[in-house]
C-alpha cells in the first residue's frame, strides 16, 4: 500500500482495470459514497464500461481499453472523484427479509457458538435476527453476500478446517460478518441455520436477490413455516 | 437462439475437460459471477479467425486432450492453441489450420505435444442458449455450456452449429508470427500493482529475476508458481475486486496468477497483473514448466493487445 497517500486514490489493476480506493476501513458509512461512484461510472464510461465490482472500501472499474485507453479512463475517474458526493437517496438499498430456521440440525455450529458467547441458543437467535445488516460486497460465489456488522458478542474466527460441502441456504457467521450460501460450496463459516430464500436465480430479473447496499434482516421461522416456504429441512452432519 | 442451427458434431468420448467458451460473461461481476471465457484468448481468437468468425463466437476449449468427435454433417473447422495430437480419421491435423470435416469422419484429440489447451472453432460458431448473457462454461458456478448448467462436454452430447457452418469456404492461413510454440520457456509480462512497494527489495528482485515453476495446482481459476519465497509487509487486505491476470501473493510467498474463473473479490496483496497476452500464455503451461515474470508498461501492453484485437477484426 502506498504509504500515507491520501484517499481516495486510483491504483493500477491491470490493463483493463482501475481500482478506486475510497476508504481504509470497513464502515457502513462507506456505502453511500460507493453507491454514488458506481452510478457515476455507469453514466460516464458508457460503452467502454465492462464491469464494476464494488466492495467494502473500493470500486474496481473494468473497462475496454480499445474503446477508452487506460489513461483517458483514469482521467475520467479523477473528474468523477473530484466533486463526488454521497448518494444518500439511492443508498437506502432494498429491504430484504430472509426467513430462517435456526436449528442445530441445519445449523451444526449453533450450540458451540452459544457456548462460546456464554448465551443460550434462544439468545443467539435473538441476537442474530433482531439486527439489520448491510450488504458490503458480493463474491465467493454468485449471489453470495457479505453482510455486517454482526453483534460483537457473536464474533468468532473462521473454522480452522473448512467444510467440503455446505448446503445451499445455510446461514453462517464469521468474524463480524454474516452470510447465506446461495449454492452448495465448500465453506469455512459457522453454520447457525438455513433460509428458504432463493438467493440466486438465473430466471429472475437481476439474478441475485441481494445487492451491495441492501438492508437485510433474518426472520426466525419455525420448521413448519420453513418447510412450507420450500426450505430444505434435511439435516447435515456436524462434521460433514 | 435466434439463428438457424443444426447438429454438427456428436461427442463420442471425452478427456479430462472440454468446455464451450465464448468471450466470457460480462456486466455481472458485481453479483459475484465470474468472467469465464477462453483461458488462452490468443489461441481461441485465432481459431475463430481461421474459419472467418467474428470476435466472440463460441468455440471448444479442450484441456489435455482425450476428446473424440464425430461429424453429423460436412463442417469447416479450425484448430488454435495447444497441439494435442489431433487426428482426423487417423490422419494428423496440423495445429493452427482450418480444415474440412466430412459427415461421418472422426476427430480425436490425443495427449499434449505442446501446450495444454486446444481450441476447436467451427465456421459460424457453436450454438447454445446463453445464460446471463453468455454461453461461457463455468463448472464451479454451474453456468453456461451446452446444458446452461455449467456442464463440461460428455459422451453423447450433440453440438449445434449455426447452419452456415456447413457451406462456408475454409482457407484462411495463420500469419506466421502468430504461431506459438508453448514448449519454449514463457516470459510473462506483468503490470506492477499498487502493493508492489510493500514487497521487500530482495523479493522484488527475485520476482523478476528468478525462474518460476508452474505448480500442479493449476486450473481455470488460477495457476500457482513455485520459486523463492516473496515477502510482503501486508498479509491480507480488505477483500476487493480482482482483475484477470492478477498475481496475488498469500502468506506462503508463492504467487498465484488468477485466470478467467477466479473469484470476483479477494484479499491477498498483489504483485500486479499479467497482461492479457501473458495470462493467455500462462494458460498453455504444463505443470513443471519454467516461466519468468517481466515488468512492462501499460502502453506496451495496450499496443500488443490492440494489435491482436485489430488483427482478429474486433
* Domains, in order of start, for chain A: 9-91 (3.30.1360.40), 93-239 (2.40.100.10)
Which is it for strands A145-148 and B256-258: parallel, antiparallel or unpaired? Answer: unpaired
| Contact between B246 and A14 using a beta-carbon 8 Å cutoff | yes
- Indicate the residue of B141, B197, B298 with minimum beta-carbon distance to A141: B141
Interface size, chain A vs chain B, as Cβ–Cβ contacts under 8 Å: 146
pLDDT computed for residue A4 by the predictor: 52
As a whole-number percent, the residues of chain A with pLDDT over 90 amount to: 90
Q: How far is A220 from chain B (nearest CA, A)?
A: 26
- Indicate the residue of B141, B194, B275 with minimum beta-carbon distance to A11: B194
| Contact between B264 and A1 using a beta-carbon 8 Å cutoff | no
Q: How far apart are CA B247 and CA B244, in angstroms?
A: 9
Q: Is the predicted pLDDT of residue B39 greater than 80, yes or no?
A: yes
CA-to-CA separations, B258 to B209, B277, B278, in angstroms, rounded? 21, 13, 11
Mean pLDDT of A28-53: 96
pLDDT computed for residue B202 by the predictor: 97
Question: Which of A7, A15, A214 should one mutate to test binding to chain B, selecting the residue with the greatest count of B CBs within 10 A?
Answer: A15
Q: How far is B279 from chain A (nearest CA, A)?
A: 11
Closest residue on chain A to B270 (Cα): A13
pLDDT computed for residue A5 by the predictor: 67
Q: Where are the domains positioned within chain B?
A: 5-178, 186-311
Give ∠ CA B88-B93-B98 in degrees, rounded to 5. Answer: 105
Within 8 A by CB and 6+ apart from A93, the residues are A31, A134, A135, A211, A213, A214, A215
Taking all residues of chain B, what is their mean pLDDT, rounded to a whole number?
Answer: 95
| Contact between A139 and B246 using a beta-carbon 8 Å cutoff | no
Cell of B41: 484468448
Q: The pTM is what?
A: 0.94
Mean pLDDT of B102-125: 97
Mean pLDDT of A130-154: 96
| Contact between A13 and B273 using a beta-carbon 8 Å cutoff | yes
With H, G, I as helix, E, B as strand and everything else as coil, classify residue A126: helix
Within 8 A by CB and 6+ apart from B266, the residues are A139, B239, B240, B242, B248, B258
Q: pLDDT per residue over A69-83, tens digit each?
A: 999 999 999 999 999
Cell of B93: 491435423
Question: Which of B25, B26, B30 should one mutate to test binding to chain A, selecting the residue with the greatest count of A CBs within 10 A?
Answer: B30
CA-to-CA separations, A196 to A94, A190, A214, in angstroms, rounded? 19, 18, 18
* CATH, domain range B186-311: 2.40.100.10
Mean pLDDT of B61-76: 97
- Residue A182, Cβ neighbours under 10 Å: how many? 28
| Contact between A1 and B131 using a beta-carbon 8 Å cutoff | no
Q: How far apart are CA A236 and CA B263, in angstroms?
A: 26
Cell of A119: 448465551
Q: Is the predicted pLDDT of residue B164 greater than 90, yes or no?
A: no
Q: Is the predicted pLDDT of residue B274 greater than 60, yes or no?
A: yes
The answer, for A26 touching chain B at a CB cutoff of 8 Å, is yes
Q: pLDDT per residue over B292-304, tens digit each?
A: 999 999 999 999 9
pLDDT computed for residue A3 by the predictor: 47
Window 43-72 of A: residues touching B by CB (8 A cutoff) are: 50-60, 62, 65-66, 69-71
Cell of B304: 500488443
pLDDT computed for residue B235 by the predictor: 87
Q: Rg of chain A's alpha carbons, rounded to an integer?
A: 20
Nearest to B266 by CA among B187, B204, B193, B210: B193
Q: pLDDT per residue over A160-196, tens digit each?
A: 889 999 999 999 999 999 999 999 999 999 999 999 9
Q: Which residues of B touch A57 (CB under 8 A)?
A: 238, 240
Q: How far apart are CA B103 and CA B175, in angstroms?
A: 29
Least confident of A4-18, A87-101, A210-224: A87-101
Q: How far apart are CA B155 and CA B255, in angstroms?
A: 37
Confidence tier at A238 by pLDDT (50, 70, 90):
very low
Taking all residues of chain A, what is their mean pLDDT, rounded to a whole number?
Answer: 93
Strand partners, B117: B63
CA B202, chain centre distance (Å): 33
Q: How far apart are CA A67 and CA B314, in angstroms?
A: 11
Q: Is the predicted pLDDT of residue A119 greater than 90, yes or no?
A: yes
Nearest to B312 by CA among B44, B110, B65: B44
Q: How far is A80 from chain B (nearest CA, A)?
A: 19
Amino acid at each position: 500500500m502506498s504509504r500515507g497517500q491520501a484517499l481516495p486514490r486510483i491504483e493500477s489493476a491491470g490493463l483493463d482495470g482501475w481500482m478506486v480506493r475510497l476508504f481504509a476501513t470497513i464502515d457502513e458509512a462507506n456505502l453511500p459514497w460507493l453507491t454514488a461512484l458506481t452510478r457515476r461510472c455507469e453514466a460516464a464510461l458508457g460503452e467502454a464500461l465492462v464491469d464494476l465490482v464494488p466492495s467494502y472500501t473500493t470500486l474496481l472499474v473494468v473497462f475496454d481499453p480499445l474503446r477508452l485507453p487506460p489513461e483517458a479512463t483514469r482521467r475520467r475517474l479523477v473528474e468523477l472523484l473530484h466533486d463526488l458526493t454521497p448518494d444518500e437517496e439511492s443508498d437506502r438499498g432494498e429491504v430484504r427479509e430472509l426467513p430462517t430456521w435456526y436449528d442445530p440440525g441445519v445449523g451444526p455450529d449453533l450450540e458451540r457458538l452459544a457456548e462460546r458467547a456464554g448465551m443460550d441458543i434462544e439468545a443467539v437467535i435473538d441476537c442474530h435476527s433482531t439486527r439489520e445488516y448491510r450488504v458490503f460486497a458480493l463474491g465467493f460465489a454468485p449471489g453470495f453476500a457479505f453482510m455486517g456488522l454482526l453483534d460483537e458478542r457473536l464474533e468468532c474466527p473462521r473454522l480452522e478446517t473448512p467444510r467440503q460441502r455446505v448446503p445451499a441456504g445455510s446461514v453462517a457467521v464469521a468474524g463480524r460478518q454474516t452470510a447465506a450460501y446461495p449454492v452448495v460450496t465448500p465453506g469455512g463459516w459457522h453454520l447457525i441455520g438455513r433460509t428458504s430464500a432463493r438467493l440466486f436465480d438465473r430466471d429472475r430479473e437481476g439474478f441475485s436477490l441481494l445487492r451491495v447496499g441492501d438492508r437485510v434482516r433474518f426472520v426466525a421461522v419455525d420448521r413448519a413455516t420453513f418447510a412450507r416456504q420450500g426450505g430444505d429441512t434435511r439435516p447435515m452432519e456436524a462434521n460433514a | 437462439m435466434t439463428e438457424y442451427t443444426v447438429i454438427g458434431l456428436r461427442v463420442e468420448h471425452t478427456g479430462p475437460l472440454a468446455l464451450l467458451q465464448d468471450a466470457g460473461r460480462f456486466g455481472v461481476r458485481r453479483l459475484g459471477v465470474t468472467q469465464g471465457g477462453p483461458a488462452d484468448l490468443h489461441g481461441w481468437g485465432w481459431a475463430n479467425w481461421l474459419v472467418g468468425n467474428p470476435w466472440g463466437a463460441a468455440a471448444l476449449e479442450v484441456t489435455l486432450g482425450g476428446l473424440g468427435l464425430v461429424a453429423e454433417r460436412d463442417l469447416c473447422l479450425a484448430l488454435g492453441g495447444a497441439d494435442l495430437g489431433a487426428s482426423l480419421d487417423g490422419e494428423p491435423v496440423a495445429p493452427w489450420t482450418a480444415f474440412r470435416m466430412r459427415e461421418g469422419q472422426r476427430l480425436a484429440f490425443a495427449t499434449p505435444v505442446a501446450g495444454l489447451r486446444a481450441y476447436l472453432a467451427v465456421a459460424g460458431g457453436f450454438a447454445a442458449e446463453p445464460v446471463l448473457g453468455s454461453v461461457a462454461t463455468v463448472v464451479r458456478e454451474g453456468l453456461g455450456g451446452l446444458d446452461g448448467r455449467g456442464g463440461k462436454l460428455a459422451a453423447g452430447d450433440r453440438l449445434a452449429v449455426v447452419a452456415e457452418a456447413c457451406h462456408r469456404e475454409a482457407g484462411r492461413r495463420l500469419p506466421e508470427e502468430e504461431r506459438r510454440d508453448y514448449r519454449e520457456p514463457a516470459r510473462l509480462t506483468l503490470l506492477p500493482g499498487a502493493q508492489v512497494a510493500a514487497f521487500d527489495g530482495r523479493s522484488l528482485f527475485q520476482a523478476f529475476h528468478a525462474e518460476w515453476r508452474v505448480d500442479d495446482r493449476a486450473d481455470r481459476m488460477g495457476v500457482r508458481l513455485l520459486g523463492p519465497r516473496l515477502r510482503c509487509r501486508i498479509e491480507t487486505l480488505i477483500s476487493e475486486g480482482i482483475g484477470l491476470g492478477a498475481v496475488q501473493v498469500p502468506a506462503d510467498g508463492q504467487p498465484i496468477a488468477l485466470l478467467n474463473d477466479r473469484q470476483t473479490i479477494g484479499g491477498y496483496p498483489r504483485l500486479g497483473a499479467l497482461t492479457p497476452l501473458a495470462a493467455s500464455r500462462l494458460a498453455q503451461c504444463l505443470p513443471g514448466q519454467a516461466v519468468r515474470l517481466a515488468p512492462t508498461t501499460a502502453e506496451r501492453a495496450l499496443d500488443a493487445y490492440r494489435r491482436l484485437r485489430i488483427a482478429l477484426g474486433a
